[in-house]
């Protein structure tokens, strides 16, 4: 698709470097004015976006944007039924962010589009809600943070569990060390996915703008398996199930540990098992991360049938010297107590007492209760409402998951995938966000962009 020369100039590196921060007209108006939102990509998760925004007072779903025009009619009708008005429809995201009456975009496109659309929106003076994982590659995530800062934008990462009241109370409990300091944490994601099978190349369906859909990714012939939701199974467009659902749990782990830095050692093993399909990405991944202070983190992900871990198919565990805190059963603490085992010391004596201590019985008992949040805005539970409140206040520090938080958590997924693809343990430099002296791993920190869908070096 050709890009008008004026648009190329807008996106040009030199012009952007010299451009002042752009602020939408809304930011100069009364906080009581309506916030006009454009929802981008709405066949799946994006439908939740426009449904939630359409029900919020003081918010208008002004635009719906998608590369599949076949989705427009039912989505427009649904918004009209919910809110009493009809949003406009736009195919090309670049045209959407040119609209002067648009205040914010809510992005639920495939992974490979998240970063570029966020940066373009920031450059155009729009605030952004962007789904998880926030980026396709680690380098992109840093560009998103830079763009949010340079253009003074409110950018919320869609790691929406951070707004759930019970999660917020549990993470506070962990971070305040009410059950002791955490030395290790584990995240598990056992989400079954049926095989996508095999599909032949076919003609592009009428109404589908395939070039726009692929965007920065390499051009591939159309197949149904690479399109709606199937894109999760191909390296060109996906961050694997680690990035798809693993990012939710690993974000809670990092948040609970209070880690504002990257780990220094990463390993990830796995593979694609029990499947005969077009899928390229693994359906089993086990990753381990080690931080500079020695804290250990594990991430276990599978889309194949698996028994629950600690009663969870999706959850986290924080380990302390006193026991552990788990998200199972709506978050509970469990204490572990060692008991003498008389069967190991039947005859008495000092030497046998040492043996007895080495083979104790363990009693697991309920730990201290995790208190609920007090009623109030923090206990609202609406991640989108938190975003809109910050769009109005311009206080990015009040966001429940500001883009820097989203980048740090998504980076863990990228690091796991890079370790998996290289097949070895990696050493990472958190300051430079690179693998020192490792050319192979460093190449996987970013992608080659397809013109004209290019992430600028200087945002």
The answer to whether 133 and 413 have CB atoms below 8 angstroms apart is yes
What is the reported pLDDT for 199?
Answer: 96
Please confirm whether the linkage preceding 126 is cis (ω < 30° from 0): no
Fold for domain 5-163+381-401? Rossmann fold (3.40.50)
In this prediction, residue 436 carries a pLDDT of 98
Integer Cα distance of 135 and 24 in angstroms: 25
Domain limits, the chain: 5-163+381-401, 165-378+411-438
Q: Are strands 155-157 and 127-130 parallel, antiparallel or unpaired?
A: parallel
pLDDT at 60: 98
Task: Please tell me the predicted confidence (pLDDT) of residue 354.
Answer: 60
Q: What is the pTM of this model?
A: 0.91
Instruction: Check residue 347 and give its pLDDT.
Output: 54
Question: What whole-number distance in Å separates Cα of residue 108 and Cα of residue 48?
Answer: 10
**Domain 5-163+381-401 matches domain 165-378+411-438 at the CATH topology level:** no
pLDDT number for residue 1:
38
One pLDDT digit (tens) per residue for the chain, 459 residues: 334 333 333 333 333 333 334 444 444 454 458 999 999 999 989 999 999 999 999 999 999 999 999 999 999 999 999 999 999 999 999 999 999 999 999 999 999 999 999 999 999 999 999 999 999 999 999 999 999 999 999 999 999 999 999 999 999 999 999 999 999 999 999 999 999 999 999 999 999 999 999 999 999 999 999 999 999 999 999 999 999 999 999 999 999 999 999 999 999 999 999 888 999 999 999 999 999 999 999 999 999 999 999 999 999 999 999 999 999 999 999 999 888 766 655 555 555 566 556 677 889 999 999 999 888 767 788 999 999 999 999 999 999 999 999 999 999 999 999 999 999 999 999 999 999 999 999 999 999 999 999 999 999
165-378+411-438 is classed in which CATH architecture? Answer: 2-Layer Sandwich (3.30)
| Amino acid 18: pLDDT | 34
Q: Are 68 and 83 in contact (CB under 8 A)?
A: no
């Amino acid at each position: 698709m050709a890009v008008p020369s004026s648009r190329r100039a807008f996106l040009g590196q030199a012009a952007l470097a010299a451009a002042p921060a752009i602020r939408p007209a809304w930011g100069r108006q009364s906080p009581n004015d309506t916030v006009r939102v454009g929802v981008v990509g709405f066949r799946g998760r994006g439908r939740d976006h426009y449904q939630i925004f359409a029900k919020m007072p003081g918010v208008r779903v002004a635009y719906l944007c998608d590369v599949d025009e076949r989705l427009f009619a039912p989505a427009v009708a649904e918004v009209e039924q919910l809110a009493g008005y009809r949003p406009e429809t736009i195919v090309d995201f670049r045209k959407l962010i040119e609209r002067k009456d648009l205040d914010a975009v809510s992005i639920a496109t495939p992974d490979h589009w998240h970063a570029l659309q966020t940066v373009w929106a920031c450059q155009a003076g729009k605030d952004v809600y962007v789904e998880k994982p926030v980026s396709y590659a680690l380098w992109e995530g840093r560009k998103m943070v830079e763009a949010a800062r340079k253009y003074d934008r409110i950018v919320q990462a869609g790691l929406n569990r951070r707004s759930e009241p019970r999660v917020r109370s549990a993470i506070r409990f962990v971070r305040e060390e009410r059950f002791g300091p955490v030395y290790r944490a584990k995240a598990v994601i056992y989400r079954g996915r049926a095989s996508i099978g095999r599909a032949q190349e076919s003609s592009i369906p009428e109404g589908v703008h395939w070039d726009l859909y692929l965007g920065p990714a390499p051009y591939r012939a159309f197949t149904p398996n690479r399109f709606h939701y199937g894109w999760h199974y191909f390296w060109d467009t996906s961050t694997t199930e680690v990035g798809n659902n693993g990012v939710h749990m690993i974000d809670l782990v990092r948040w609970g540990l209070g880690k504002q830095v990257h780990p220094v050692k990463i390993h990830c093993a796995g593979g694609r098992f029990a499947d005969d399909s077009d899928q390229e990405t693994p359906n089993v991944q086990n990753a381990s991360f080690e931080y500079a202070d020695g804290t250990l983190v594990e991430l276990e992900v599978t889309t194949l049938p698996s028994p629950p871990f600690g009663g969870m198919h999706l959850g986290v565990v924080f380990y302390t010297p006193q026991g552990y805190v788990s998200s199972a059963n709506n978050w509970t603490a469990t204490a572990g107590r060692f008991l003498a085992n008389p069967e190991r010391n039947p005859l008495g004596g000092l030497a046998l007492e040492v043996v007895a201590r080495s083979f104790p019985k363990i009693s697991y008992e309920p730990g201290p209760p995790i208190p609920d949040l007090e009623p109030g805005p923090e206990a609202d539970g609406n991640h989108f409402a938190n975003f809109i409140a910050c769009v109005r206040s311009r206080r990015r520090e009040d966001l429940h998951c500001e883009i820097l938080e989203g980048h740090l958590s998504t980076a863990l997924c990228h690091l796991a995938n890079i370790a998996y693809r290289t097949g070895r343990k990696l050493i990472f430099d958190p300051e430079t966000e690179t693998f020192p002296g490792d050319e192979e791993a460093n190449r996987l920190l970013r992608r080659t962009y397809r013109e004209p869908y290019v992430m600028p070096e200087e945002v």
